[in-house]
Structure 1
Amino acid sequence: MAILTSRLSDPAVRAFVGAVNARDREGFLALLTPDATMSDDGSDRDLTDWIDREIFSTHGHLEVDNESDGGRALTARYSNDTWGEMRTRWRFTVADDGRISRFETGQA
């Protein structure tokens, strides 16, 4: 059973999931540090290209199944118009200012 986004422990991660599911690209980018990085299946990717291709142009959606590490590690069902639904893992690094400086995702 999915965890409601509003019940996620870490405020930055909660906002990240909320922005993905609301398709709020501007709000999503505001959650990231200016130099934020990301990786997919262990390979660093261009963040702007990746989020447009994998989230915002393809109706990405996260259903979180569990969280650990104080809410900064998630296992979730991720779906988009390109790949359908898959089980994924997410890990977040949150900077001192509360914004996300890195996220890593991949198949779980």
Structure 2
Amino acid sequence: MKTLLYIAICLLPLAMSAQRRTPPTKNNMMNTDKLTNETVKKAITALQAGDKNAWYTLFTPGPELFDDGNKIDFKSFSEGALGHERFTSIDKVENNGLDLYGKFHSDKWGDFKTYFKFQLNKEGKISRLEIGQASY
């Protein structure tokens, strides 16, 4: 019995570290060469890196965010997504670089195809972002 307890105690930290996910670093970031809009490219780079400061500076105060057509809180989404969600590939870019389609990973929801559709104001800040599951 003591041996089993000892083994469990020794293996617990190993099991827990295997569950932790590390945000992408510059060395393992997805290729963003398909992104033609500079603001969108910066936003996706910030998302990929889990960089909250860079992410927030690209948006207007109080931007609108819609997830599968439902309006959601931008700040809550950002806090939950950054460092835990990322594109694994960008498959299509449309609408002058403002609409992206690709494969996506969420630590909470798994892997799926998604779209991100950005709207910019006159100053080039993101005022609206539509995200959702895609079928293409």
Q: Deviations over 1:48-99 (max 9, x none)?
A: 111222x125x21112111000000110111121011110011110111111
TM-score by length of 2: 0.72
- The count of residues paired between Structure 1 and Structure 2 equals 104
2:72 equivalent among 45, 64, 82? 45
The whole-number CA distance in structure 1 between the counterparts of 2:58 and 2:33 is 16
Rg bigger for which structure? 2
Structure 2 unmatched runs, 5+: 1-29
TM-score by length of 1: 0.89
C-alpha deviation, 1:7, in angstroms: 3.7
Asked whether 1:61 is paired with 2:86, we answer yes
Question: SS of 2:96's equivalent?
Answer: helix
Question: SS of 1:98's equivalent?
Answer: coil
What residue is the counterpart of 1:87 in the other structure? 113
Q: Deviations over 1:17-67 (max 9, x none)?
A: 0000011011100000012110001000000111222x125x211121110
Greater CA drift, 37-46 or 76-85: 76-85
The whole-number CA distance in structure 1 between the counterparts of 2:68 and 2:40 is 19
Identity %: 29
C-alpha deviation, 1:6, in angstroms: 3.7
The whole-number CA distance in structure 1 between the counterparts of 2:62 and 2:118 is 14
Deviating 4+ runs (over 4 angstroms):
none
What residue is the counterpart of 1:77 in the other structure? 103
